[in-house]
A and B are shown apart, each in its own frame.
Chain A
């Protein structure tokens, strides 16, 4: 008899989801699905609001990465106003965005994933969390908390609060740093770099220890998508859109981000609220692509800071010459390299006198009716697209969220892990935790990603007691 195993809820992720694993008569995994069961609907209820309010509203999508939405939204607003923020405004936005990368990646690695990696996939579930980590490895847990605190403190210094700051606005930001604050930030960077280097040592051990398992934790060919600087460097705030295939060929070497719809399509499935984006030229689902730390490190030609470039070289050695790293398990490693990069960039930026310049905001009326804002959220490329009337009132909103773009890869990862570890005749909690960990590697944020309304395809079949199909209705 075929059976279905349900993991509900998936824990230590941001948001609500479940996994179903379908077994065939012999108890082998036939299929596995990652369902996002929550629904938010921001795309719908932002319609009718004014473009100036959007950063503050969309920041509320998420308490973990409010800054990413703030950036994408403010940038979409820049385009609608037809302005470029003063240089100080752009630099300050970059500073907050890097602080966001640090705090969110620290949360993902230390608080959510380290319990699996350091305590073991099969360890006692009641202990397999940040509190268990505090007991078993207090130094590491404290490191993680310190690192996240640093990122949050920088965000708070800029936006006056660390969660949901409504600080970036169309045209720039609301206020610069106060005199002395850049130095306060700079003073703390060396300790944060040490913490990150220690964590990198740790993750190199983990990579070695889990080398066999890494091949089964979502290692498959796919495309990779993200932003790079015009020179091809690692980028999180602006730049060009790049798409790379599994062999390292650049399918899109440097597309203008406002043309994203030409290369990204969105499919839906009836069993999840999360849409399934794909690379349009290759179709669905063949156009499967990954975003986020792994993708960003794969697509860039170089990082651009000394420590991160050294580590990037080591990262590249995980794959055959010139090819991208395809194992989703290495998202963890990539995340730490990005923390290193963000810290180095923050340190460089704190020497810039513009950070305390009062000229941080450009003022303008509505000059364009379409605005597309893109930024690299911790989890991947984030697009906000707004269509406004001549007064700046929203007529249509499209939010393309990083987690959504990793939807196909997460499903494939779940399937791959389940096929290797789940057997119907002997089920253990540890097996199912491995499946969950495959999801955690992507650090999905489901609260961010489920906003479209009225687009869910529905397929209804009316059958009689014998299973005979009587009637059928379909909405695609």
Chain B
């Protein structure tokens, strides 16, 4: 393990070899927005919200899965990055049916919060408005595909922490859908332990508690690191942080 020196936003910072730009930036209090990233689970790198510029690389790279290098010069804020992140968010909003006003997660949603923080005030591409089902077959929870952003957090936490492997991704590209037990209604899953980890770590209202009404769903995001303390995170000495807390966004209604 060797210490690596690099520059992020004109600040001299250091990290250990093998660490990612996102991890080092967070340790130094430099904010980079994320959605799919989940501390305590493996890296996915799918949402592209954490794009940063690295000197010498022609296109922006995702901070969550790019390892640091000695002498690297990283920029986390620029007009081009802001435009890219806004576009990433707009595409997410356009792809499925996100109606904050009547969503169970309104006011406590990581997608909503990311959009507000990025200054996204409208969507420039046409909404696809797909017709998607709601799977309410589980006794305690509901899966609403309309609000799923395919971040894979549920898939990862179910496999890596609970060990149940209930969730998979089926289909490709825009046809990708979250499925339980390779494609049965969630309520018929024989692997699901109903532990609720996926529900509480889902960044949007795609997974929620049955019976919740508009803006009533409050997710408990802190539990994962408490579970993992004493396991890998404990060994590396990394302190659990409150990265999971969604910055409060004032919802105008």
In the assembled complex, which residues on chain A have CB atoms less than 8 Å from the CB atom of B215? 56, 166
Chain A interface size band reads: 20 to 34
Which of A49, A60, A174, A391 makes the CB contact (< 8 A) with B137? A391
Query: Which secondary structure dominates where chain B touches chain A?
Result: loop
Min distance, Cβ A360 to any Cβ of chain B, angstroms = 13
Which of A53, A164, A392 makes the CB contact (< 8 A) with B253? A164
- A392, B216: Cα distance in complex, Å: 18
- A53, B217: Cα distance in complex, Å: 12
In the assembled complex, which residues on chain B have CB atoms less than 8 Å from the CB atom of A393? 134, 136
Min distance, Cβ A188 to any Cβ of chain B, angstroms = 24
Asked whether B213 lies within 8 Å of A60 as measured between CB atoms, the reply is no
Chain B interface size band reads: 10 to 19
A461 contacts chain B at the CB level, 8 A cutoff? no
In the assembled complex, which residues on chain B have CB atoms less than 8 Å from the CB atom of A218? none
A161 contacts chain B at the CB level, 8 A cutoff? yes
Q: Mark A377-412, 1 if CB is under 8 A from B, else 0.
A: 000000000000001110000000000000000000
A48 contacts chain B at the CB level, 8 A cutoff? yes
Asked whether A53 lies within 8 Å of B133 as measured between CB atoms, the reply is no
In the assembled complex, which residues on chain B have CB atoms less than 8 Å from the CB atom of A392? 136, 210
In the assembled complex, which residues on chain A have CB atoms less than 8 Å from the CB atom of B216? 166, 169, 174
In the assembled complex, which residues on chain B have CB atoms less than 8 Å from the CB atom of A50? 134, 136, 142, 210
Asked whether A391 lies within 8 Å of B133 as measured between CB atoms, the reply is no
Given A60-B101, A60-B102, A164-B253, is A48 in contact with B211 using a C-beta cutoff of 8 Å?
no
Least CB separation from B211: chain A residue: A52
A363 contacts chain B at the CB level, 8 A cutoff? yes
Which of A49, A52, A60, A391 makes the CB contact (< 8 A) with B212? A52
A349 contacts chain B at the CB level, 8 A cutoff? no
Given A60-B101, A60-B102, A163-B253, is A53 in contact with B214 using a C-beta cutoff of 8 Å?
yes
- A57, B19: Cα distance in complex, Å: 45
Which of A56, A163, A363 makes the CB contact (< 8 A) with B214? A56
A324 contacts chain B at the CB level, 8 A cutoff? no
In the assembled complex, which residues on chain A have CB atoms less than 8 Å from the CB atom of B210? 50, 52, 365, 392
- A391, B139: Cα distance in complex, Å: 9
- A365, B138: Cα distance in complex, Å: 11
In the assembled complex, which residues on chain A have CB atoms less than 8 Å from the CB atom of B137? 391
Asked whether A56 lies within 8 Å of B213 as measured between CB atoms, the reply is yes
- A391, B101: Cα distance in complex, Å: 23
Q: Mark A460-475, 1 if CB is under 8 A from B, else 0.
A: 0000000000000000
Q: Name A's B-contacting residues (CB within 8 A).
A: 48-50, 52-53, 55-57, 60, 161, 163-164, 166, 169, 174, 363, 365, 391-393
Q: Name B's A-contacting residues (CB within 8 A).
A: 101-102, 104, 131, 133-134, 136-137, 139, 142, 187, 210-216, 253
24 cross-chain CB contacts under 8 A: A48-B131, A48-B133, A49-B134, A50-B136, A50-B142, A50-B210, A52-B212, A53-B102, A53-B104, A53-B213, A56-B213, A56-B214, A57-B102, A57-B214, A60-B101, A60-B102, A161-B253, A163-B253, A164-B101, A166-B214, A365-B210, A391-B137, A391-B187, A392-B136
